[in-house]
Amino acid sequence: AAGSPAGSAARPSGHSCGSPEISWTLPDTSHVSKEDLTSQVGDVLLYYCYCEVRDPEKLCAWQKALCQHLHLTGKVRVASEGINGTVGGSKVATSLYIKVMLSQPLFKNILCQEDFKSSAGGAHCFPDLRVGVFKEIVPMGIDPKIVSYKETGIHLSPQEFHREVEQYLSQATQGQSDTILLDCRNFYESKIGNFQGCLAPDIRKFSYFPSYIDENLELFKDKRVLMYCTGGIRCERGSAYLRSKAVCREVYQLKGGIHKYLEEFPDGFYRGKLFVFDDRYAICSNEDIISACRYCGVLWDQYKLCSSQHCRQLVLTCPSCCNKGLTACCPVCQEKELKVTSRASGQILKEECECTRRRPRVPIERVSPRMLDTGK
């Protein structure tokens, strides 16, 4: 249906009233035992906050000190446009982290408790702690001054998004939908889990997303677009970029991403696993397996890193195929792995394999009338 869905959907106006001073406060941990602070049983937090940061270097230094103080690991990106983090630690440590973040004057009245997406994990989910200053808090490759988070799409709560997807699937079955359900993630993420009936671009990096939009602009003309990603941050810039093209009737996005949707609809329209950027690779909310082993085709959705040392691709290879030595992402890498021991030590090998050679950097969609149906 045309127009805005009912509910609390709104487009944020952005925060432009000046950046407050950054507090250097670290939490008091004298009442907490070291065991509680460093326990392996804990959580992984995913969050972001768009706001104006006058001194990114200072925020970065405080953030690094805070994470080290709480024995947290993970990745935090700081920029003049805000902060984006995924950190792991004990339940006590992550709870203290949220409390301090919410009390930071810089984030006051912007960041709230529900902005933190939590899943079972801990410090062991990341190899180390990496905190740095970047131009963007999510790497889309477009200057934030050109495409700003302040021009984002209309945010839909999980309940509103659920109703929209339900209506979209119903109309698509009858071949009369005016909506596109767009997955803003990378192909290896959507491969193991996605919303039914979605359009999932076959792109490897989010920095390819703007080019994907440019090359397929006709596809979005006069359409209502429902966008989603893992935690919501890619939709903030992605929706702003799509809106800047002025071809869509309207652009909506899932607030809090798949994370928040699954909290309320674990058995809803999202099927399969949710890919995460840490050593877990995926978290589960339902029993569906929608992907297959790269070698034998049996249902399988647990990623491993390609066994060829020069390659950074992920591969779906089941235990049976692993036992047969099929542990690389493609035959080219499998062959290179066998040869690598005979090469001179320290030789740098490029990431070249059949996977990257076959996949176009930015695919051009050939949309048939049934491509955007219920997608079962």
Residue of 25, 113, 117 lying closest to 69 (CA atoms): 25
Strand partners, 90: 42
Q: H or E element: which one contains 304? A: strand 303-305
d(CA 86, CA 50): 15
Q: Provide CB contacts within 8 A for 138, sequence distance 6+.
A: 48, 77, 84, 206, 233, 234, 236, 237
The secondary element (H helix, E strand) that includes residue 355 is helix 354-358
For the CA atoms of the chain, what is the radius of gyration? Answer: 22
Selected catalytic residue, list 49, 51, 198, 229: 229
Q: Which residues pair with 156 in a beta bridge?
A: 254
Token pair of 304, please? Answer: 């491993």
Q: What are the angstrom distances between the C-alpha of 190 and each of 52, 84, 165, 357?
A: 32, 21, 17, 20
- At 333 the three-state DSSP class reads helix
Q: How do the residues of the chain divide into helix, strand and coil, expressed in percent and rounded to 5?
A: 30, 20, 50
Nearest to 270 by CA among 162, 367, 355, 353: 162
Name 358's Cβ contacts closer than 8 Å, sequence gap at least 6: none
Active site residue 311: no
Q: How many CB atoms lie within 10 A of CB 290?
A: 16
User: Residue 182 forms beta bridges with which residues?
Assistant: 199, 227
Instruction: Give the alpha-carbon dihedral of 238, 146, 106, 75, to 10 degrees.
Output: 50
* Active site (catalytic) residues: 229
